[in-house]
C-alpha cells in the first residue's frame, strides 16, 4: 500500500526509534515524531494494539488514521521526519472524521513548534 507523497514505515526498528522521540496525544490518537537523518521525504507508520479491539476494530481505526495522514501529513509534514500514529480504544474509530483531521493538524503544529 502506498500513500501519495508518503512512505510507509514497515520495520520494527523504525517504530522503536520513534517510540523514544517526541510525542503528542490527542483524544483519538497519539503521534510520535522523530527526525531521521538517513531519509528524505515523509515516512509514516500506523499501529493499534489489541486494546483497541478485535481485528475488525483495529483495521477500521488504522484505515481512518491512514486517510487522515494522506490528507494532512502530505501537506503539513516535514521532509526528513518519521511519524507514527497510534490508535486509541473506541475514540479512533468513532470520532468524527473532520475532528480526527483537525486533531492531527494541531498535533503536528505542536510537534513542529518544539
Domain harbouring 58, CATH code: 3.30.230.10
pLDDT at 101: 94
pLDDT at 1: 56
Say if 108 falls within a structural domain: yes
Chain center to CA of 96: 17
Domain that residue 29 falls in: 6-113
Q: Residue written as cell 513548534?
A: 113
Q: Of 4, 23, 27, which is closest to residue 82 (Cα–Cα)?
A: 23
Per residue in 40-88, pLDDT tens?
A: 788 999 999 899 989 998 999 999 999 999 999 988 888 888 999 999 9
Whether the CA torsion 91, 13, 67, 73 is positive or negative: it is positive
Average pLDDT in the chain: 89
**Bridge-partner residues for 85, per DSSP?**
31, 46
Say if 83 falls within a structural domain: yes
Contact 82, 68 (CB under 8 A): no
3 state SS of 22: strand
Residues 6+ apart with CB under 8 A from 11: none
Angle between helices 55-76 and 97-113 (to 10 degrees): 50
Domain count, the chain: 1
Say if 1 falls within a structural domain: no
Amino acid at each position: 500500500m502506498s500513500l501519495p507523497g508518503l512512505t510507509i514505515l514497515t520495520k520494527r526498528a523504525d517504530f522503536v526509534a520513534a517510540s523514544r522521540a517526541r510525542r503528542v496525544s490527542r483524544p483519538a490518537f497519539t503521534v510520535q515524531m522523530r527526525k531521521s537523518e538517513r531519509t528524505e521525504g515523509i515516512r509514516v507508520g500506523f499501529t493499534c494494539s489489541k486494546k483497541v479491539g478485535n481485528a475488525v476494530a483495529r483495521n477500521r481505526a488504522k484505515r481512518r488514521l491512514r486517510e487522515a495522514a494522506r490528507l494532512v501529513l502530505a501537506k503539513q509534514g516535514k521532509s526528513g521526519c518519521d511519524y507514527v500514529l497510534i490508535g486509541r480504544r473506541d475514540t479512533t474509530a468513532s470520532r468524527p472524521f473532520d475532528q480526527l483531521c483537525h486533531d492531527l493538524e494541531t498535533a503536528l503544529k505542536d510537534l513542529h513548534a518544539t
